[in-house]
Amino acid sequence: MGRHRNRRAMRAARQLGVAVIVLGLLGTGVVGYRVWSRPGCTDPVKLTVGAAPEIATAIKKATDAWVDTDAAKINNRCLSITVSAADPADVAGAVAGQRQLTLSGIGKPSGATTVPDVWVPDSSLWVQRLRALSQDVLPANSPSIARSPVVLAAPEPVATSLGWPAAKPTWSDLLTKARSDSTLHLGIVDPARDSASLASLVALTGGGTAGSATTASPEARAALVAAVRTLAAGRSLIRDDLLRRFPRASDPVSLASGLSLAPLPEHAIFAYDAERPPVRLVGLAVQPAPPALDYPYIVLPLTTDDRALAASALRTVLAGYGFRDRLSAVGLRASDGSVGAGFPSQLVSGVDNGQSSALDGALAGRALDTWSSITAPARLLAVLDVSGSMLEPVPTAGGITRMACTLEAAKRGLGLFDEGWAVGLWTFSTQLEGDRDYRELAPIGPISVQREALARALAGITPKRNGNTGLYETVLAAYKAVQSGWDPGRVNSVVLLTDGENDDPGGPTIDQTIEQLKLTADPKRPVQVILVGIGGKLGEVEMRRITEVTGGSVFITEDPAKIGEVFLQALAMRPASAAGR
């Protein structure tokens, strides 16, 4: 009996010591949990575990219970395990940094982030993205230990108006409604740092296939640009900021002004509602469903065999049936989608317990590229053809002129540019300014201060009757103008709309133009040239020769009435900013 009392006393003392240490860490702002080795353990096998914050507590409790048993030994050595809450994006950046690599949208890691022996991020998307940089940076076998479906979070009154809990709306339905209903506000966390947002973006964009900005039909590409811009208008850099934007009161004004819908993992809704907010969140299952978060258990390259064995043994512990209830306590499902006691599933409707978490990293990469190309801050010079042929009527547009179609497309484009853009406006024909074929209507500048000036300039544009098309001279001048003020933090580009091939006898030839562009182009200061052609009389071959030198794309439509769709496609093809890669 005395031996049992001594053991209980020692265990109580050890637990009190752990509590004091944890409180001390929390008091100093350190986010983490420490599991110390058993008393009398002088040479423990030390293992560090970095886990997504929502699962770290469950792992810590399971690990604590295991280390407290006689079975927790590796080659007769006891264990000392540290479990820390670690932002997946920060650890991913640090893992990439070990190889002198940079993960798109993450940048260089901070010195405060360390790479653990075992990493449990929220999604295998991190594995796929890192392995896309280098196949051997992470092991291929990373089994799932938990799951959290990705749904659309909404204040309950908003969700009810959309048919919750029975409805399963589609992305298309919701985005169309958001564009027509000024009280419905969408939000998303930066998908480069947030797995739930990236999974939703893959679902929205069609996984880089049917809805991809690069491979879809013209109509689908135009719809995609509009959809992503609608979603991106409410983006936040971190999830906490997004959550603070949900309405804090249930009156109509608060509901109409607050955030209405945002893709979030199921567990985040449970955690939000546990704080008893004035308006609780519920989850709608959207179609097509984003891949679920799957919490892979990743054993990173270790320095000793004993640590590798310890990591493997801990994985077995976390695969046990008892771990399911620990997961349910923090709002997570088991890896097979099942739930334990106390799981608050009534808040989320229509979720398939077996929702797939499989996702090809290449699809995620293309979805991120699409997002970056559409939302990256830009420095753009728009150049519009005002030659005499732009006065020709367009039968498919009710008889209005080509110029009117083009100006309408430009006005729509102006509405898409957010406050992070810098935009300038030129027109061109032949001899608009003396012998010069182009005219500056507005210099490239922040759209936040010259949006109205650009709108007025567009409204005043009229074609030059009998004017020809001085395309090559204008392309050269526009390219040099953008390059001269090149901004490393933005996408620098020229977007030129024309309805005819070059017919300026006094200007440079195509060969002279190509030669000058080759001499001017600087890989350290790239300027993309996007040429948009309308009508049937175009020098498409010559246009493509230009973009082969400068980078960029050529878009052609024989029907001038479709110039608006083509312009949206052109914006979707912008490359991501070098600063954000």
**pLDDT, tens digit, for every residue of 61-108?**
999 999 888 778 888 888 999 999 999 999 999 999 888 888 877 866
The b/e string for 273-291 (b: 16+ C-beta within 10 A; e otherwise) is beeeeebbbbbbbbeebbb
Question: What does each C-alpha distance from 535 to 235, 334, 393 come to in angstroms?
Answer: 38, 58, 11
Number of H helices, E strands in the chain: 20, 18
Name the packing angle between helices 218-232 and 195-205 (round to 10°).
Answer: 150
Question: Could you tell me the two tokens for 536?
Answer: 């049937």
DSSP string covering 352-401: -TT------HHHHHHHHHHHHHHHS-EEEEEEEE-SGGGGSB-GGGTT-B
Per-residue confidence (pLDDT) for residue 416, from 0 to 100: 64
3-state SS track over 434-467: CCEEEEEEEEEEEHHHHHHHHHHHHHCCCCCCCC
Q: Are 215 and 362 in contact (CB under 8 A)?
A: no
Question: Could you tell me the two tokens for 558?
Answer: 């024989």
Name the packing angle between helices 540-550 and 510-520 (round to 10°).
Answer: 10
- Report how far residue 235's alpha carbon sits from residue 187's, in angstroms, rounded to the nearest whole number: 5
Best CA proximity match to 125, nearest among 146, 108, 142, 107: 142
Best CA proximity match to 211, nearest among 198, 224, 225, 197: 224
Question: Could you tell me the two tokens for 261?
Answer: 């819908």
Per-residue confidence (pLDDT) for residue 235, from 0 to 100: 86
Q: Which residue type is seen at 498?
A: T
Is the omega angle on the peptide bond into residue 344 within 30 degrees of 0, that is, cis?
no
Q: How many other C-beta atoms are found inside a 10 Å radius of the C-beta of residue 382?
A: 26
Question: What does each C-alpha distance from 216 to 66, 96, 127, 487 come to in angstroms?
Answer: 52, 32, 27, 31
Q: Are 556 and 540 in contact (CB under 8 A)?
A: yes
Q: What value, to the nearest 5°, has the Cα angle with vertex 315 and ends 314 and 320?
A: 95
Sign of the dihedral through C-alpha 254, 255, 256, 257: positive
Residue bearing tokens 């979805």: 367
Per-residue confidence (pLDDT) for residue 355, from 0 to 100: 53
- Would you call 154 helix, strand, or coil by DSSP? strand
Q: Are 145 and 120 in contact (CB under 8 A)?
A: yes
Per-residue confidence (pLDDT) for residue 222, from 0 to 100: 62
Q: Are 175 and 231 in contact (CB under 8 A)?
A: yes
Q: Are 130 and 95 in contact (CB under 8 A)?
A: yes
End-to-end CA distance of the chain: 65
Per-residue confidence (pLDDT) for residue 19, from 0 to 100: 34
Per-residue confidence (pLDDT) for residue 30, from 0 to 100: 35
Tell me the pairing of strands 118-120 and 150-155: unpaired
Helix (H) or strand (E) holding 158: helix 156-161
Per-residue confidence (pLDDT) for residue 423, from 0 to 100: 93
Q: Which residues of the chain have pLDDT under 70?
A: 1-40, 107-111, 206-223, 302-303, 345-347, 349-360, 415-416, 537, 564-565, 567-581
